[in-house]
Amino acid sequence: MTTFADIAPALERQAIELPSWAFGNSGTRFKVFTTPGTPRTPEEKIADAAKVNEYTALAPTVALHIPWDMVDDFAALSRFAEDHNVKLGTVNSNTFQDDVYKFGSLAHSDPAVRRKAIDHHLKCLEIMTEIGSRDLKIWLADGTNYPGQDDLRARQDHLAESLQEIYSQVSETQRLVLEYKFFEPAFYHTDVPDWGTSFAQVSALGDRAYTCLDTGHHAPGTNIEFIVMQLLRLGKLGSFDFNSRFYADDDLIVGAADPFQLFRIIVEVIRGGGLEVDSPVQFMLDQCHNVEDKIPGQIRSVLNVQEMTARALLVDRPALTAAQEAHDVLGANGILMDAFYTDVRPALASWREERGLPADPMAAYLASGNQSKIAAERVGGTQLSWSA
Amino acid sequence: MTTFADIAPALERQAIELPSWAFGNSGTRFKVFTTPGTPRTPEEKIADAAKVNEYTALAPTVALHIPWDMVDDFAALSRFAEDHNVKLGTVNSNTFQDDVYKFGSLAHSDPAVRRKAIDHHLKCLEIMTEIGSRDLKIWLADGTNYPGQDDLRARQDHLAESLQEIYSQVSETQRLVLEYKFFEPAFYHTDVPDWGTSFAQVSALGDRAYTCLDTGHHAPGTNIEFIVMQLLRLGKLGSFDFNSRFYADDDLIVGAADPFQLFRIIVEVIRGGGLEVDSPVQFMLDQCHNVEDKIPGQIRSVLNVQEMTARALLVDRPALTAAQEAHDVLGANGILMDAFYTDVRPALASWREERGLPADPMAAYLASGNQSKIAAERVGGTQLSWSA
Amino acid sequence: MTTFADIAPALERQAIELPSWAFGNSGTRFKVFTTPGTPRTPEEKIADAAKVNEYTALAPTVALHIPWDMVDDFAALSRFAEDHNVKLGTVNSNTFQDDVYKFGSLAHSDPAVRRKAIDHHLKCLEIMTEIGSRDLKIWLADGTNYPGQDDLRARQDHLAESLQEIYSQVSETQRLVLEYKFFEPAFYHTDVPDWGTSFAQVSALGDRAYTCLDTGHHAPGTNIEFIVMQLLRLGKLGSFDFNSRFYADDDLIVGAADPFQLFRIIVEVIRGGGLEVDSPVQFMLDQCHNVEDKIPGQIRSVLNVQEMTARALLVDRPALTAAQEAHDVLGANGILMDAFYTDVRPALASWREERGLPADPMAAYLASGNQSKIAAERVGGTQLSWSA
Amino acid sequence: MTTFADIAPALERQAIELPSWAFGNSGTRFKVFTTPGTPRTPEEKIADAAKVNEYTALAPTVALHIPWDMVDDFAALSRFAEDHNVKLGTVNSNTFQDDVYKFGSLAHSDPAVRRKAIDHHLKCLEIMTEIGSRDLKIWLADGTNYPGQDDLRARQDHLAESLQEIYSQVSETQRLVLEYKFFEPAFYHTDVPDWGTSFAQVSALGDRAYTCLDTGHHAPGTNIEFIVMQLLRLGKLGSFDFNSRFYADDDLIVGAADPFQLFRIIVEVIRGGGLEVDSPVQFMLDQCHNVEDKIPGQIRSVLNVQEMTARALLVDRPALTAAQEAHDVLGANGILMDAFYTDVRPALASWREERGLPADPMAAYLASGNQSKIAAERVGGTQLSWSA
């Protein structure tokens, strides 16, 4: 039997990067609701992210989105983060909000538009060098809405060339991570719709190019843990964008829609070495807190990942292997379910206290008064959202 | 064999209502792109809708969205429409953009919010009376994002009560039409997710309450023509919101994603009497022209419906029935496909010319120079979109 | 806080009917694998079902499938069951395996075929009267594979007439329960594809006609607990066919694919009174144990339902309502999740022992040697499957 | 403008392989209906396939399924085919109907089972050599039904090793083609679920290993033409299994469910060179005629592919490219739709007559009396189906 003491070292290593944009307002095409206390500057976003880390010790880094987090002095932003006990992490590019990108960016048929999009990524690499960030994460809104609107094959070739040029500027200590997405904002085709496409593209680039798996970016019914297994097996799983969904890319709190799926995903991460010391896998959230408070939403999210990781680590591997080899279907499944149904929360609470953390980070944060404090302080200015 | 002459009378009756909002800008949560010439006033939207009717004679009415089309003087707006040879049609309510509706409207747990939402609908009924509109169309964004967030059963009861109060003010010559939607903007549950719920709710109201079927509002794989058949059989199909989709509620041009599905839907409309003189079925578009021009997009849409209706009318009904009764699977299917594969475009072109319309309305509109004209004229002001 | 003592009475009332056919062989169109010890007679199926009840006290009744469970002397079969401490329950009709039903049964265009199908149901009612069974459950394979193959509207009318004739023979103490299914074995349309159709049909019949909800019979992404809520609200939820699925009608062990969905479903059952003493809701399994052992598969299934019911009963209702009314999204969701993540297994084990049952019914059954015993005894004869 | 004369050479080259098993009975797990005249021997299947070719000149080869088409003398079978003016083509292996394969074949954890499955494939290669067949097509039923049942990663590695051993025996003139499938008969995971997995596996093998794309083996909503484009771009599209679906792997007649999708797929085939003289792409049907007659069903299928190919070839490529480069969304889409809506049937009928074929192959076959002839002749014996 695996005990909590056995799994504590792995839990102690666990780090989940927070996206700066999760602290800004978000919504749907129908409405973006605002919330009191929403940040008006990149610094306020980082301060909020730092609160999550303060209460959980799970979120030591903050991912930036350029240009949403564009500042004049990135060195200063970096120091601001360190003053709040977090570091700046992955840099996410954005080629979907300029008018010029209406019909694509890195896959666009016009070389001038591709040039502009490539240059944006080179600028991101410069920022990364300045702040010591390792990963350039590329998610593209490129695609079309109508059959015939553009040439799928030519676009894929354009994409390959654009990525090649960007990759040529990725330094030895940096990585390029290419995300895929089933649909949205394009509604007929997207240029990187599935893991196979991302895998083919990054394999053509080289060793420092990886795939990013966003848990909300698949067709209905897709067995995501299989893809996790396969990408780890192929050495190409670079990062996770965690969230959850009932329908499309709902961007709900990770673990909220299908906790058992999250469990199975983490079981495969562990099986493939993704939690080990030298793992190439970067864990990150990518969520939208449309109707719930943002800092508590992020706390809930990292706790969900932590709790599910604890359950996944508790799987009795020798017993599981024995049952699998005996083709004891119900026995093997039962061993997995035993771990899933184990209530790890009391043990985690004690363990947190041993480490000087609140036993219940959610309750502690809510009791701290920070939510009213920022609501009172952050008056005036413009609350940040996806459009700025 | 059915000939074009046989089907012309039904085609002549065909009318497809245009949504005023289709002429404003729309987009996704990622970006709303603007287009030169986009209307800045309700009048400009109506003028654009009138252009569609001018070139096609298919779109004699324009649906309003309140408050997006709120004006001080609806009588004047009505005259403006008539001066452009169209009439104002269905009034669509909107209870999803006020901050107070963050957690629902007609299904909200707070009586004060429900009161406000009910009053909005009563105001819509007043406008309808003023402009001689028959249909109040209700689409609700009500729903929740997380399990447990609210009580599904209580919300359904609140909804029933709210609808009852609105229905009590629907006059003898008016109708209430309740739309359903699978998901979005709510991502865990919506309060009217399927035709069954709309049917149960409107059946409880009375004879002048109907269901609205939006072709993009179903689960993947749903047989929509079956629902058309069933609602016509039950006497509750009030209106169609036409559009098309590959994934979710993509709101693409009707017929663009799956033309054969549109054909099958119209076949069932005809089978159930929905194209007959006294049919209760109102045809309407509900689309978003995110990347294509809006007036041509609407022209393409009404033509798609007309062309598919012509094909559906050409189905050799006696032969089909004979093959069906003989359980000649391939024969019956073949008769349907024959109609679908018939190229009705030449006959429609001639028929349009006989009626003083351009043979090719798309080409004629594009050649008219109207697109450049409105782009040149409509400078300054604020282009309208969903948020205003 | 709700305690285990609070919820024990409801758990004690819980009864889950077992389908006789779950003990026979089943598979896919590709292959039906056999298992040693599979029953060769209806009596052996009942004996196996009785084993499940012996170890769990959760399964006091066995559903029959006619003609799969056809015997000359139903009174004798009934006594056989009682001798094994179970009773015969729901009778399931079967109109999908005679050649004459190739193109439908109750919805067939040919009155002679409908006559035969109706008569089959009248025969089922006779058997029900003989064995004291309350429910006639009707699941139809009726549908078509190709557009145009048959007339959807006429079939729906035929179905209504056929059901009316059957319903007219349902006695005061009996009920008719109509199941719906999204697809399979028909691949274009099914005649009862969704809850709305079943609801419309049974509403037209009368008070003793209900809907059966099979958890595997929905489109991808369907919010099943919403349908549970709605059918309970409308007074038409007659029974559940429990199973689970990742893709289609996979008929896996209930709770195996998405335990959190099962939890949400039972939460709505409780919310709507479905576990109360006078509830009209009959719980039943409908599963296929293609690769796992059958008796243990059924034990695992009823335990999954029991454990999830315990979790659902533990939801802190007053706290949940308070959080819902305060629109505390994360708080309300958290209260629900607290119950889901509670490990109820130790308390259930103790409670079982108090009642003279094994603490761990799965382990106890496996240790009993029954599996080898039946494998050794049941040699020769023909193992039963869906085709006999 | 492209004319019919321009496209005739490509149409003349078109060849669609027929699966021998399409002429046997097939069905669902609920029932396999029989049809008069169904073959009882591999020879009768080949004779039926030859009929399809006789009336259409579209189906010069017949694919075998081993062991369903196992005969003592393959040279004789080959001569039998040639006497009927067809040739034997692709050999399909079968590792899903022996009891030993209950838990997998090439991916099984037990080396002895893998050995047996590998040997089966080596035997297939021997048969291929004997009959001069180029392609060994591998579709695997391997997978699991329950999370935890087996180790996904180990299975993937076993699969790679097994394929490597088989591939080592593929001669210079032969190819290995690996099919993928989303689900069924396994309901939790399949070992080759998507094109990415097949691509990764065949890329590791070598130049004579390709992917097979079955149009019914994808998640709902998948953009299949994108995968066609990508596999052609990567040089790994080996063959197509054509069929159509509304829900799952329905195996309906190709083009029956979504003709526009079939059009888009063939447009991408042409765009990627898949119809050119030296194309590596083998076209093949893989369908189940559960309720319709089999020979007419296959004739309808090859005609659907031919008609859609004619439409796809008619796309005005220069105009399309110009509209795409101008980002004329509606114009480009309109050019595609023009080709789709062109009624190519009259031109095809004339062209067939010029070539000594019946103008309407379906009508000609039905009038030939062959269907009654085989029904009368083939009395006694055992009709073939998937299980033999």
D164-204 pLDDT, tens digit each: 999 999 999 999 999 999 999 999 999 999 999 999 999 99
A380 to chain B, any CB pair closer than 8 A? The answer is no
Q: Does the structure show a pLDDT above 60 at C347? A: yes
Crossing angle (nearest 10°) for helices A195-205 and A152-167:
40
The answer, for C361 touching chain A at a CB cutoff of 8 Å, is no
Most distant pair of Cα atoms in chain C: their distance = 66
Distances (CA, A) of B275 to A7, A291, B217, B270, B283: 68, 43, 22, 6, 10
The superfamily (CATH) of domain B14-312 is: Divalent-metal-dependent TIM barrel enzymes (3.20.20.150)
- Nearest-CB residue to B185 (from A31, A141, A386): A31
SS3 (DSSP) at D312: helix
Helix axes C294-313, C42-56, angle to 10 degrees: 40
Cβ of residue D220 closer than 8 Å to a chain A Cβ: yes
Break chain A into its structural domains and give their ranges: 14-312
- B342 — contact with chain D (CB < 8 Å)? yes
Name the more confident of B65 and A2.
B65
User: Which residue of chain A has the CA closest to C297?
Assistant: A330
Residue type for C50, please? A
DSSP A257-288: S-HHHHHHHHHHHHHTTTTSTT--PEEEE---
Say how many CA atoms lie within 13 Å of C208 toward its Cβ: 16
Confidence band (pLDDT; 50, 70, 90) for B1?
confident
The answer to whether B245 contacts chain D (CB < 8 Å) is no
Residue C1 has a pLDDT of 73
Instruction: Specify the pLDDT at position C215.
Output: 98
CB contact under 8 A, A246 and C221: yes
pLDDT at C160: 98
Please say whether the beta carbons of C58 and C351 come within 8 A: no
Which residue out of C262, C330, C337, C342 would a mutagenesis test of the A interface target, given it has the greatest number of A Cβ atoms within 10 Å?
Answer: C330
Instruction: Grade residue B386 by pLDDT with cuts at 50, 70 and 90.
Output: confident
Q: What is the CA angle D85-D87-D90, rounded to 5?
A: 155
What rounded mean pLDDT belongs to chain C?
97
Please say if the pLDDT value at position D1 is more than 90.
no
Please give the pLDDT value at position B388: 53
Give C-chain residues touching A246 at CB under 8 angstroms.
Answer: 221, 223
Best of D21, D25, D30, D253 to disrupt the C interface (most C CBs within 10 Å) is: D30
Q: Nearest chain C residue to A303 by CA: give it.
A: C334
Neighbours of chain A (3+ CB pairs under 8 A): B, C, D
CB within 8 Å: D196 and A196:
yes
Residue D386: per-residue pLDDT = 87
Instruction: Quote the pLDDT of residue D42.
Output: 97
Do residue B291 and residue A102 have CB atoms under 8 angstroms apart? Answer: yes
Give the 3-state secondary structure of chain B.
CCCHHHHHHHHHHCCEEEEHHHHCECCCCCCCCCCCCCCCCHHHHHHHHHHHHHHHCCCCEEEEECCCCCCCCHHHHHHHHHHCCCEEEEEECCCCCCHHHCCCCCCCCCHHHHHHHHHHHHHHHHHHHHHCCCEEEECCCCEECCCCCCCHHHHHHHHHHHHHHHHCCCCCCCEEEEECCCCCCCCCEECCCCHHHHHHHHHHHCCCEEEEEECCCCCCCCCHHHHHHHHHHCCCEEEEEECECCCCCCCECCCCCCHHHHHHHHHHHHHCCCCCCCCCCEEEECCCCCCCCHHHHHHHHHHHHHHHHHHHHCCCHHHHHHHHHCCCHHHHHHHHHHHHHCCCHHHHHHHHHHCCCCCCHHHHHHHCCHHHHHHHHCCCCCCCECCC
Res D9 pLDDT > 90? yes
Contact between chains at B259 and D330 (C-beta distance less than 8 A): no
Mean pLDDT of chain B: 97
What average pLDDT does range A244-252 have in this prediction? 97
Contact assessment for residue B340 and residue B263, using Cβ atoms and an 8 Å cutoff:
yes
| Nearest residue, CB atoms, A300 vs list C221, C223, C330 | C330
Residue percentage of chain B with pLDDT more than 90: 98
What's the pLDDT score for residue D125? 98
Q: Assign C388 a pLDDT band (cuts: 50, 70, 90).
A: low
ipTM for the complex shown: 0.97
Our CA-based measurement puts residue B96 at a distance from the nearest CA of chain D, in whole angstroms, of 28
Between C220, C256, C342, which is nearest A333 by CB? C256
Alpha helix stretches (DSSP H) within D168-293: 195-205, 224-233, 259-271
CB contact under 8 A, B291 and D329: yes
Interface test with C, best of D21, D26, D31, D183 (most C CBs within 10 A): D31
The arithmetic mean of pLDDT across residues D78-90, rounded, is: 98
Closest residue in chain A to residue D182, using alpha carbons only: A222
Closest-CA residue of chain D to A198: D196
> What are the CB-based long-range contacts (under 8 Å, 24+) for B225-229?
B225/B261, B225/B264, B225/B265, B225/B267, B225/B268, B225/C152, B226/B268, B226/C152, B226/C189, B226/C193, B227/B195, B227/C196, B228/B265, B228/B268, B228/B269, B228/B272, B228/B274, B229/B268, B229/B271, B229/B272, B229/C152, B229/C153, B229/C156
CA atoms within 13 A on the CB side of D283: 24
Res D388 pLDDT > 70: no
> Mind spelling out the 3-state secondary structure of A107-150?
CCCCHHHHHHHHHHHHHHHHHHHHHCCCEEEECCCCEECCCCCC
Cα separation, A146 vs A142, in Å, equals: 13
Contact (CB<8Å) B259/D362: no
Q: What percent of chain D has pLDDT over 90?
A: 98
Å from C188 to nearest chain D CA? Answer: 6
Q: Which residues from C are below 8 Å from B197, CB to CB? A: 196, 230
Residue D141: which of C30, C32, C183 has the nearest Cβ? C30
Q: How far is C19 from chain D (nearest CA, A)?
A: 16
User: Is D246–B221 a contact, with Cβ atoms under 8 angstroms apart?
Assistant: yes
Helix and strand numbers (H, E) in chain D are 14, 10
- What average pLDDT does range A261-270 have in this prediction? 98
Q: Do B259 and D296 touch (CB under 8 A)?
A: no
Binding partners of D (≥3 Cβ pairs within 8 A)? A, B, C
Write the residue in C219, C226, C234 that is nearest to B220 by C-beta: C219
Cβ separation C183–B150 shorter than 8 A? no
The mean pLDDT of B337-360, rounded to a whole number, is 98
Which pLDDT band, with edges at 50, 70 and 90, does A386 fall under?
A: confident
Nearest chain B residue to D339 by CA distance is B343
pLDDT of A92 higher than 70: yes
Least Cα separation, residue B185 to chain A (angstroms) = 6
Q: C15 by DSSP, 3-state: which?
A: coil
Residue B33 pLDDT more than 70? yes
**Tens digit of each residue's pLDDT (9 = 90 or more) over C123-168:** 999 999 999 999 999 999 999 999 999 999 999 999 999 999 999 9
pLDDT in tens, D347-374: 999 999 999 999 999 999 999 999 999 9
How many CB atoms sit inside 10 A of residue A363's CB?
12
Q: Is B350 on the interface with C (CB under 8 A)?
A: no
Q: Does position D96 have pLDDT exceeding 60, yes or no?
A: yes
Count other Cβ atoms within 10 Å, centred on residue B318. Answer: 10
Chain D within 8 Å of C33 (Cβ-Cβ)?
yes
A182 touches chain C (CB under 8 A): no
Question: How many angstroms separate the CA of residue B163 from the nearest CA in chain D?
Answer: 35
Closest residue, chain D, to B345 (C-alpha): D341
The nearest alpha carbon in chain B to A142 belongs to B30
Is any Cβ of chain C less than 8 angstroms from the Cβ of D254? no
Query: Which helix H or strand E contains C282, and what residues bound it?
Result: strand C282-285
Instruction: Nearest by CB to D149, from A103, A193, A332: name it.
Output: A332
Provide, as residue numbers in chain C, all residues whose Cβ is less than 8 Å from the Cβ of A345. 341
Enter the tokens of residue B149: 């967030």
Tell whether D234 is within 8 A of chain A (Cβ). yes
Determine whether the interchain pair B200/C148 forms a contact, defined as Cβ–Cβ distance below 8 Å. no
Contact status of C26 with chain D (Cβ, < 8 Å): yes
The token pair at B209 is 């309450």
Q: Is D388 on the interface with C (CB under 8 A)?
A: no
| Contacts of residue C388, Cβ cutoff 8 Å, sequence gap at least 6 | C68, C382
Least CA distance to D232: which residue of chain A?
A153
Q: Per the CB < 8 Å rule, is D184 touching C248?
A: yes
CB contact under 8 A, C246 and A223: yes
